Structure 1
């Protein structure tokens, strides 16, 4: 008999929350058949059967948090005989009170031929109270997509119209309690750690975007022919990587245990992405080795996977510098919190036409603010300003940006 323990499926992972069991006790399963879905602070993952056999026992309920190394379930392999342990005789309590025993039960109806869907779509279906068995999947191999859930119409039961008079206390209707757990809990813990350990300083500057906008517009049609959505972000990544190669202290981290600064000679850029599950930071590895079009395509793919909850551990770890692009939803400036253990983060804000002074005359230019938060233990204010000045120089003169590329 195999005891399947929760493995470490993430860097530094200590626990995971069981989102859904796909089987129940006594059920026959095949090797590699999905058994349960679990959510960690990094990713949602489906764990599969290690062998073909019979599920003997489930040790946790859906919604419970399990520490790494704890046994999740027991499986009896094929051709293996199960010899149950002898029953344990328990004397009744002296006070004649019966102790309540809560069996481990599956809280959802289980089916072997379950619909194909990503963990993100399953979670969304639970939030919308939609039975995936009733949804027609339009994705590859009949996979149910987020679009299918949006288009699904629940059958409406026929109800008799009956006047109901109810009175609720105002305090009961004006408050809602939401458990702080799973990814949101880990985000909170990470932000507290970062703001507690790192002395944050934020420097704000503005960019003139007219020249870059003209260049982007020139290449936009060509990019569309290649099915690439060309935004400003790939240009920013290239400019930032070029500046990081010159100001290496901003592409570093601090080892708090050894009191050492670790300077990175590789450039893995994290892109803070808003998702239904919270803030996720997918990482573009070796950004200095990729073209503008390659960066644009990878940004598109990572953003889609982040929203669907299908990012792998490799895709969300190892960043050396992070960008928070909030320009699409607005905002003039902010004080972004550094993605520990990195030493800096750059927030990009909305682009808008503004009146500025050029050659002693007032003119209209497309302007954008950027906010650089940096670790003052490692980076001085003068270095931070010079770093953003270099980014400005490259983006306000995009031809120079291309000349500086490797």
Structure 2
């Protein structure tokens, strides 16, 4: 028998550390080669750490939420081979073997796991973790009895399962867990949705004095850090203007009705993106990154528009690069692709970084005014609010018009209130007279 030490792998060029967001194993678990041991996060991208060998978990080197340096000891396994593989040791038998068939993962001589760039990077809302396979009789695996946690105990579940339960209003203490040690899986939640709620008692009016202490980790921690920096560093000025979008909505409907089969359906956002590109060409300093430590404004020629996107794991901002070089249909296609990648957890680090100005939209929720927080270190963000039909006076009578507010925030250190108003008014003019979007001045 021997030991095999697995270190925090190199999860990307220039990355010095990663946050541990989930353990898929615990001490005493038997794991098989390529079984997922843990998930770590860097810059909103999540990477799974697989096991390079079969073995038994002897020791875990970090807690959920810890930030671990690349190359630090992460997990120790007891393996069948003679001797041990660890930092500074000679090549192990595993290191001499040919790489796995996928060619994605190989064990290094020092026991660390090398993760090439091709490894799958996902968002914090990852594919539900598969239970670690333990040797047991087939009948025992097939007939594991669900376990409900005892009174006062905290249910055993992954962060992804807890998030899903919280969003669905489910108390995990009511859900029987079929995983190891009563661990609640996504399949257990599915079964509870189908059967459990049919027999659940109606909520009463008794006091609930329970308090759940939830450590802020992963994507939520990164969002918290970035929002704190944005609000503490940037003196925001927010400007709200209503826009008559009747004409652009009529144009959008006509284009969708006559579009080619290979073109995506247009929403309002591609029109807004094209209007922003035109407005930025007249006020290029709004398309900037402000390095407040160096006191330098980096004014970009390319318009890289971040699209704030709500996912099951939290807020993400995929980036439509070079919007100035895309027409309506290309903007729409890229929007669809990036939104799907973000929501499915497959967006890459490159797709989630590099924006120079951001759009945020809460209109679907019905809000008429918002105060958007700037995506630091950018200097402007444009917020889309609810569209609704309202009576508008045309000089002689009231007529129904489709109206929508734009709520936009600006970094007042770089953008004066006058310039902010000019920018929003230019976007308003372009949306109210959409032909101007397509005609060069």
Q: Same fold (TM over 0.5)?
A: yes
Match of 2:391 in 1: 355
**Corresponding position: 1:16 with 2:19:** yes
2:439 counterpart SS class: helix
Structure 2 unaligned segments of length 5 or more: list them. 88-128, 136-157, 166-174, 180-185
- Provide closer, same or farther for how the CA distance between residues 34 and 242 of structure 1 changes in structure 2, counting only shifts above 3 A: farther
**1:2-401 aligned within 5 A:** 3-7=6-10, 9=12, 14-21=17-24, 27-29=31-33, 34-40=36-42, 42-49=44-51, 58-60=59-61, 63-69=64-70, 70-74=72-76, 81-82=83-84, 109-111=131-133, 123-124=160-161, 127-128=164-165, 170=207, 172=209, 177-223=213-259, 225-226=261-262, 228-359=264-395, 361-401=397-437
Give 1:76 shift: 9.2
Shift of 1:73: 2.8
Number of aligned positions between the proteins: 354
CA contact (8 A) 1:28 1:53 kept: yes
Structure 1: which 5+ residue stretches go unaligned?
Answer: 86-106, 114-120, 134-145
CA, structure 1 residues 83+273, in 2 after alignment: closer, same or farther (shift >3 Å)?
Answer: closer
For 2:423, what is the secondary structure of its paired residue?
A: helix
8 Å Cα contact 1:20/1:36 also seen in 2: yes
Which deviations, in whole Å up to 9, do the C-alpha atoms of 1:298-326 show, x marking residues without a partner? 22222222222222111111110000011
C-alpha distance after superposition, 1:213-254 (max 9, x if no partner): 111001223448337232111111111122112211111111
What TM-score, normalized to structure 2? Answer: 0.68
**Aligned mates of 1:167, 1:217 — CA distance in 2:** 50
Q: How far has the Cα of 1:8 moved from its partner?
A: 5.2
Distance 1:209 1:130, change over 3 A: farther
Report the TM-score when normalising by structure 1. Answer: 0.73
- Aligned partners of 2:62 and 2:74 also within 8 Å: no
Partner of 1:139: none
Q: CA deviation at 1:285?
A: 1.2
**Equivalent pair of 2:177/2:188 in contact (CA under 8 Å):** no
State the alpha-carbon separation in 1 of the partners of residues 56 and 317 from structure 2. 37
Task: Indicate the SS of the match to 1:403.
Answer: coil
Shift of 1:109: 4.6
In 2: Cα distance, 1:213 partner to 1:305 partner: 27
Distance 1:265 1:77 in 2: 56
- Per-residue CA shift, 1:120-150, capped at 9, x if unaligned? x9924884569899xxxxxxxxxxxx9x999
Check conservation: 1:18, 1:66, Cα contact below 8 A. Answer: no
CA–CA distance in 1 between the matches of 2:189 and 2:75?
A: 35
What is the alpha-carbon distance in structure 1 between the residues aligned to residue 420 and residue 359 of structure 2? 15
In angstroms, what is the RMSD of aligned CA positions? 4.0
The separation in 2 between residues aligned to 1:78 and 1:402, in whole angstroms, is 69
Query: Helix, strand or coil: the match of 2:307?
Result: strand
Cα 1:122–1:132 shift into 2, 3 Å: farther
Q: Relative to 1, partners in 2 of residues 1:152 and 1:310: Cα closer, same or farther, differing over 3 Å? A: farther
Distance 1:325 1:28 in 2: 45
CA contact (8 A) 2:382 2:409 kept: yes
Aligned to 1:117: none
Q: Separation in 2 of the partners of 1:130 and 1:7?
A: 38
- CA distance in 2: counterparts of 1:8 and 1:268, whole angstroms: 26
Contact 1:25 1:56 in 2 (8 A): yes
2:373 aligns to what SS in structure 1? coil
